[in-house]
């Protein structure tokens, strides 16, 4: 009889490397417990020309909900519950360009709230599908030509027509937004760098990430230099980021508290998407790539230091429809349309 058909037990030990791993114990923890404590990734190849500068990025796509926005969304909702402003009979309403909406929809699903989200019509169908079809949120679209500002205005109009029906976190003006990063993101960066961080920068969307993290880090070390990253152009292709001079300035954004802003051209961010993939094996979209472009610009101005930035999410969800910008790029074969954050 063939040995493999024998009923006798095998006499040799199974090598360790082919043994089945021990399965983790299933717990009753909520998926919301998986928000925060994201990895800090060092750039090993990009920026190596700056011999005495280390560049790191927070991998925020590791949050439940898939982005940095899960942190403030959870805090805004839970602070609303604590204050009594959010009750089970109310619908969570806010404007979003995608990531915050996904976080609201996920958290609402788990906590049992209805969610209504206002976003530009050109937000990709994959994101809309995740919010609506998977998490059950109601989607209202605003003009694609007005960007996030148009969604903000429309969301306010909906709220003002029936304020008793809605809980509107208003992420652009809610202190719980930046406080989420003060309490978590800053503390994580401080510990993960062994207190070595010297410079911090992040893109401006609502301003919550850059303001909260900067305040938290400076309370730990007042000498840390903090910067905001914004698109260089008023008409840009970096979805989720704001060009401040041409946008509604979020109430929580206080530019005077920062060392300054670093402007990133859209084209440079597009190119960095591919560079990150090829040189670091990291798949991110244009806002994350733009943050790294900003970090490199900063690295070129200092002799030594530890720079930390934030990669808001990965590029897995969709390709962004850039409208006219996309048409222009398709006519220019040297331009690339990157995957979206």
Q: Please give the positions annotated as active site.
A: 69, 287
- What's the confidence (pLDDT) of residue 28? 54
pLDDT on residue 286: 87
Q: Token digits for 249?
A: 């300035």
**Rounded average pLDDT over 105-110:** 95
| Average pLDDT of the residues of the chain | 85
For residues 25-50, average pLDDT: 87
**Percentage above 90 pLDDT, the chain:** 68
pLDDT at 5: 41
> What local confidence, expressed as pLDDT, does residue 29 receive?
62
138-142 and 225-231 strand pairing: unpaired
Percent of the chain with pLDDT over 70: 84
User: E-strand spans in 30-124?
Assistant: 40-42, 53-59, 91-95, 114-120
Higher pLDDT, 127 or 329: 127
Question: What distance in Å separates the CA atoms of residue 154 and residue 240, rounded to the nearest whole number?
Answer: 17
8 A C-beta contact, residue 283 and residue 316 = yes
Strand ranges (E), 114-163 = 114-120, 138-142
- pLDDT, position 97: 81
Q: Tell me which of 137 and 126 has the higher pLDDT.
A: 137
Alpha carbons 226 and 298: distance in angstroms, whole number: 10
> What is the enclosing helix (H) or strand (E) of 166?
strand 166-167
- Does the structure show a pLDDT above 90 at 11? no
Please tell me the predicted confidence (pLDDT) of residue 1: 44
Check pLDDT > 50 for residue 339: no
Residue 7 has pLDDT above 70, yes or no: no
Q: Token digits for 99?
A: 């990531």
Helix, strand, coil percentages, rounded to 5, for the chain: 40, 15, 40
Alpha-carbon gap, residue 290 to 270, rounded angstroms? 8
Q: Does position 331 have pLDDT exceeding 60, yes or no? A: no
Q: Give the pLDDT of residue 263.
A: 94
**Mean pLDDT to the nearest integer, 222-237:** 88
Q: Domains of the chain (ranges plus CATH)?
A: 35-64+184-331 (3.40.50.1100), 70-167 (3.40.50.1100)
DSSP states of 318-338: -B---THHHHHHHH-TT---P
Would you say residue 165 has pLDDT above 90? Answer: yes
For 232, counting Cβ atoms within 10 Å of its Cβ (0-12 exposed, 13-18 middle, 19+ buried), the class is middle
Q: Are strands 53-59 and 40-42 parallel, antiparallel or unpaired?
A: antiparallel
Q: Is 296 helix (H, G, I), strand (E, B) or coil?
A: helix
Burial of 275 (0-12, 13-18, 19+ CB in 10 A): middle
Residue 316 is predicted with a pLDDT of 64
Task: Convert the pLDDT of each residue in 262-284 to its tens digit.
Answer: 999 989 999 999 999 999 999 99
The answer to whether 152 and 95 have CB atoms below 8 angstroms apart is yes
Of 261, 256, 227, nearest to 244 by C-alpha is 261
Q: What b/e readout covers 330-341, taking b as 16+ CB neighbours within 10 angstroms?
A: eeeeebebbbbb
As given in the structure block, the two tokens for residue 298 are: 């900063």
**Per-residue pLDDT, 334:** 38
Q: pLDDT tens digits for 294-323?
A: 999 999 999 999 999 999 988 765 543 333
Which pair of tokens denotes residue 166? 């809605």
Q: How confident is the model at residue 330 (pLDDT cuts 50, 70, 90)?
A: very low
| Residue 18: count of CB within 10 angstroms of its CB | 6
């Amino acid at each position: 009889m063939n040995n493999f058909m024998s009923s006798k037990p095998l006499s040799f030990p199974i090598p360790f490397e082919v043994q089945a791993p021990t399965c983790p114990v299933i717990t009753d923890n909520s998926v919301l417990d998986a928000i925060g404590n994201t990895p800090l990734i060092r750039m090993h190849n990009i920026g190596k020309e700056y011999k005495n500068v280390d560049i790191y990025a927070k991998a925020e796509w590791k949050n439940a909900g898939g982005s940095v926005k899960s942190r403030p969304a959870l805090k805004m909702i839970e602070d609303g519950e604590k204050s009594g402003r959010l009750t089970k009979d109310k619908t969570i309403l806010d404007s979003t360009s995608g990531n915050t909406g996904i976080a609201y929809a996920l958290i609402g699903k788990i906590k049992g709230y209805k969610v209504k989200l206002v976003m530009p019509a050109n937000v990709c169908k994959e994101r809309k599908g995740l919010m609506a079809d998977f998490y059950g949120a109601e989607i209202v679209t605003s003009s694609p030509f007005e960007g996030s500002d148009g969604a903000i205005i429309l969301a306010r109009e909906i709220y003002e027509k029936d304020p008793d029906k809605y809980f509107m976190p208003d992420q652009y003006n809610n202190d719980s937004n930046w406080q989420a990063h003060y309490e978590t993101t800053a503390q994580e960066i401080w510990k993960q760098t062994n207190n070595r961080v010297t410079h911090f920068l992040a893109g401006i969307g609502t301003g919550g990430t850059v303001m909260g993290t900067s305040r938290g880090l400076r309370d730990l070390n007042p000498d840390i230099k903090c910067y905001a990253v914004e698109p260089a152009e008023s008409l840009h292709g970096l979805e989720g980021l704001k060009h401040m001079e041409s946008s509604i300035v979020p109430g929580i954004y206080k530019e005077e508290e920062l060392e300054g802003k670093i402007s990133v051209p859209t084209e440079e961010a597009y190119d960095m998407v591919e560079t990150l993939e090829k040189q670091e094996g990291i798949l991110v979209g244009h806002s994350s790539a733009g943050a790294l472009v900003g970090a490199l610009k900063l690295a070129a101005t200092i002799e030594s230091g530890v720079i930390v930035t934030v990669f808001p999410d990965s590029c897995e969800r969709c390709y962004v429809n850039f409208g006219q910008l996309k048409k222009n790029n398709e006519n220019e074969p040297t331009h690339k349309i990157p995957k979206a954050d």
